[in-house]
Amino acid sequence: MTETAPVPRVVLGLTGSIGMGKSTVAAMFADMGVPVFDADAAVHRLQGPAGRAVQAIEAAFPGTTGPAGVDRTALAEAVLGDAAAIRMLEGIVHPAVAEERTRFLRDHADAPLVVLDVPLLLETGAAYVDKVAVVSADPAVQRDRVLARPGMTAQKFAAILARQMPDADKRARADFVIPTDVPLAETRACVARLVACLARAEGG
């Protein structure tokens, strides 16, 4: 008697620029029963109290951590405008996040579909996903959303955009585009169609 083969898994990378509604869309996938890996949440765990990255960050950037983990403001000031420091920080954080991602994929190996929510997926390389979905909205909608955030300014928004791949380029490289400048029900329906399609796919 032959053993039943594992359920095929499709790894969907979910990304989008600031203010595009990626977190809302990720929550929709989760609500539909799809396991979601949140890269930002992983970074917060790694840099939080007793986080695995805290000791290495303190060694590289003395005075940027405390009992609550990494002081994100102090760390941002320590690397601001210093390309070598940013690369050093990325050399600490990125491998640790990759370990968390690998553990997540292993834990959900039998799921027909999983989502990796990674803000800079296309900027840093998407070789570990089968398909890419980009969350997108009209630039005016994006700007209004971002500038409504506490402490956000037009200057900060421009600086963030400068570090991200333009939305048009992301959409051009995407397998799927999920709009969020439409009624919420339309976005949810788009996600539902995507889940139905990919959960049936055999290996992407």
The tokens describing 15, both together, are 């990304």
Cα–Cα distance for residue pair 196/204, rounded to 1 Å: 13
Cα–Cα distance for residue pair 147/154, rounded to 1 Å: 7
- What are the residue ranges of helices labelled H in the chain? 22-31, 39-47, 54-60, 72-79, 83-107, 121-124, 139-147, 154-163, 167-173, 184-200
Cα dihedral angle (168, 90, 72, 70), rounded to 10 degrees? 150
Pairing of strands 65-66, 69-70: antiparallel
21 annotated among ligand-binding-site residues: yes
20 annotated among ligand-binding-site residues: yes
**Do 14 and 117 form a contact (C-beta atoms < 8 A)?**
yes
19 annotated among ligand-binding-site residues: yes
Q: Which residue ranges make up the annotated binding site for ATP?
A: 19-24
- Known binding-site positions: 19-24
